[in-house]
Amino acid sequence: MSRLGELLERGDELIITGEAPVIDGGTLADYETKLAELAPWCDAMNATDNTAAHAHASNVAMAIAMQRLGVEPILQVVCRDKNRIAQQADIMGAALHGVENICCLTGDDVTAGDESEARRVFDLDGPQLIRLASSLREGRYLSGRSVGTPPALVIGAVENPGAPPLDYRAQRAAKKIMAGARYLQLQICYHPDRLEAFVAALHQGGWTERCAILPSVVAVKGAGPLRFMDASVPGISVPAEVIGRVADAAEPAEEAYRLVREQCEHALSLPGVRGLHLTDFRKDGSMARLCTDLGIKPRSEREQHAHHRVVAV
Amino acid sequence: MGLVSALEHVVKKPIWDCRMCGQCVLHDTGMTCPMTCPKTLRNGPCGGVREDGHCEVKPEMRCVWVKAEERSRTLPLMPQDWRDHFNNLRPPVDNRLQGTSSWQNLLSGRDRETPPGWTPEPAEAEQAEA
């Protein structure tokens, strides 16, 4: 079973996932360098599926590359570019290479990318894709045909706690959990009150016992990326005072670091939150600083610690 | 297009901008057609809804699911179980039914046929294991 799957089963330890950088050409060695900063802190990393509707090396190829480099991949599968037949083929194809973690998303629209003229697919939607993955795990394709030996898929999904209709988001998350999601990577949320209300609703409903909640944080270097996210990333709003706080600071990069650290501390303080999903846009060594400041040990040390504990019990 | 589907289209197009998917779920979605969502999502809003409740793809349009969620709570005269069904997991669209009459498909039960590998929730064994 994947490390992520084991952590989900153990049910109490911290889980750190990360967004792996996309691949646009280059070699495996180049990619190893790109992964080096964030990978040591993560239990698993997302092999993304054409993020923000921009073409990159495919999710399956990226997952296999990560595996060859000793990084546990989470195969992201979105509904925008492929129909249900191709989605099943990707999941089964990745499973052939030992990729068990998958994360099911509806996905950004083609208009979010740089080829807006492309045909959008959305043959399935996010919740249907989760259920489809559950079917594969149970041993059959959507057609009912047997897959032979079922892959031990560790199925996850995403949800946005900060986009309207706010009061409905936790119910939608519950729907995904019922469909088979065992972890949820949340969209980055610059409204702490919204994140809090969302997690509290899931926790009170008992859903956090069945599903690990992993809020996202994005480390940025200044106000520019915050403005960009607010204006251009669908479903993300960054309040003017948050942008102002970073923009007007004497040292914007340092203030942006304090912001992301506060977001981590806040998220981890919420009952029902199991860990974090990290995205690094700084690429200046901040990931090591952030994890150290938060008291998060590198994966290798956390692994050892877990083994000791098992022996001690 | 047969007579019944033509009649259905005449009635439903002006009111709900019906796309004739042939497997109508209007009653479960606050009498708001999910096929008018640019992503044709049948299971709730995507994560791209704008701060003002408008659509990621068409900024001038209110998100179909923001509207649906609101109307599933507030529309008068709607049976309670229609409201209760709002968060149900709806199966993948059967693309063969495009252009056919959902009224006929409702009567024949054809609109409730799902792929053999589809069940609304994971199997019991799976749940117990998880």
Digit-coded pLDDT (tens) for B106-119: 999 998 999 999 97
Tell me which residue in A126, A160, A180 faces B122 most closely, judged by beta carbons. Answer: A180
In degrees to the nearest 10, what's the CA dihedral of A27, A106, A192, A294? -30
Cβ neighbour number for residue A304 with a 10 Å cutoff: 12
Inter-residue contact A125 to B39 (CB < 8 Å): yes
User: Any chain A CB within 8 A of the CB of B123?
Assistant: yes
Dump pLDDT digits (tens) for A156-186: 999 999 999 999 999 999 999 999 999 999 9
pLDDT at B124 over 60: no
- Whether A37 contacts chain B with CB within 8 A: no
Looking up tokens 């799902």 gives B114
State the average pLDDT for chain A: 96
Q: CA geometry: angle at B35 spanning B108 and A90, to 5°?
A: 95
DSSP state of A273: B
Chain B residue numbers with beta carbons less than 8 Å from the beta carbon of A135 are: 117-119
The percent of residues in chain A predicted with pLDDT above 70, rounded, is 98
Does the structure show a pLDDT above 90 at A279?
yes
Residue A36: pLDDT over 50: yes
pLDDT averaged over chain B?
88
Cβ–Cβ of A111/B57 closer than 8 Å?
A: yes
Q: In this predicted model, what pLDDT tens digit does every residue of A114-132 receive, in sequence order? A: 999 999 999 999 999 999 9
Beta bridge partners of A77: A104
A195 pLDDT tier (thresholds 50, 70, 90): very high
* CA dist A35 → A4, A280, A295 (Å): 18, 11, 21
- Res A233: pLDDT: 93
Q: Is the bond preceding A165 in cis, omega lying within 30 degrees of 0? A: yes
How many Å apart are CA A94 and CA A112, to the nearest integer? 26
pLDDT at B125: 40
Q: Which of residues 220-239 of A touch B (CB under 8 A)?
A: 234-235, 237
Residue of B nearest to A124 (CA): B92
Chain A residues in contact with B66 by the CB 8 A cut-off are 164-165
Task: Indicate if the pLDDT at residue A231 is higher than 70.
Answer: yes
Q: Where are the beta strands (DSSP E) in A21-152?
A: 44-47, 73-78, 101-105
**Nearest chain B residue (CA) to A139:** B117
Checking if the pLDDT of A209 tops 60, the result is yes
By C-alpha distance, the chain A residue nearest B73 is A168
Whether the predicted interface score ipTM is above 0.85: yes
Read off the pLDDT of each residue in B54-73 and give the average, rounded to a whole number: 96
User: Is the pLDDT confidence value at A21 over 80?
Assistant: yes
Is residue B2 within 8 angstroms of chain A, CB to CB?
A: no
Average pLDDT over residues A1-12: 93
Q: Shortest Cα distance from B13 to chain A (angstroms)?
A: 22
A168 in reach of chain B (CB within 8 A):
yes
Q: Is A191 on the interface with B (CB under 8 A)?
A: no
B19 lies within 8 A of chain A by CB: no
Give yes or no for a contact between A16 and A41, defined as CB atoms under 8 angstroms apart. yes
Taking the C-alpha atoms of residue A206 and residue A18, their distance in angstroms, rounded to an integer, is 26
What residue type is B8 in one-letter code?
E
B114 φ/ψ angles, rounded to the nearest 5 degrees: -120, 165
Mutate one of A8, A105, A123, A168 to test the B interface: name it (highest B CB count within 10 A): A168
* pLDDT of res. A312: 42
Q: Please name which of A258, A233, A273, A276 lies closest in space to residue A18, comparing C-alpha atoms.
A: A276
Q: A125 and chain B: CB distance < 8 Å anywhere?
A: yes
Whether the per-residue pLDDT at A313 is higher than 50: the answer is no
Q: Does B3 touch chain A (CB under 8 A)?
A: no
Q: B43 and A175: CB-CB below 8 Å?
A: yes
Choose the most confident range, by mean pLDDT, from A254-258, B22-26, B28-32, B118-122. Answer: A254-258
CA A4 to chain centre: 12
Backbone angles phi, psi at A277, to 5 degrees: -115, 120
Reported confidence tier of residue A308, pLDDT bands at 50, 70, 90: low
Rounded to whole angstroms, the Cα distance separating A270 from A273 reads: 6
* CB crowding B39-65: b at 16 or more within 10 Å, else e: bbbbbbbbbbbbeebbbbbeeeebbbb
Q: What residue has token string 């669908």?
A: A234
| Residue B130 confidence (pLDDT) | 37
For residue A81, the chain B residue with the least C-alpha distance is B39
The arithmetic mean of pLDDT across residues A265-282, rounded, is 97
Q: Do B122 and A124 touch (CB under 8 A)?
A: no
- Mapped onto helix, strand or coil, the DSSP state of residue A294 is helix
Confirm if A174 and B88 have CB atoms less than 8 A apart.
no
What's the rounded mean pLDDT across residues A56-77?
Answer: 97
A148 burial (CB, 10 Å; 0-12 / 13-18 / 19+) is exposed
> Residue A120: closest CA among chain B residues belongs to which residue?
B39
In this complex, is the C-beta atom of B77 within 8 Å of any C-beta atom belonging to chain A?
A: no
DSSP string, chain B: --HHHHHHHHHHHHHH-----SS--GGGTTT--GGGSTT--SSS--TT--TTSB-SS-TTSBPHHHHHHHHHHH-TT--HHHHHGGGS-PPPP-GGGTTS-HHHHHHHTGGG---TT--SS--HHHHHH-
Residue A76 phi, psi dihedral angles, 5° rounding: -80, 135
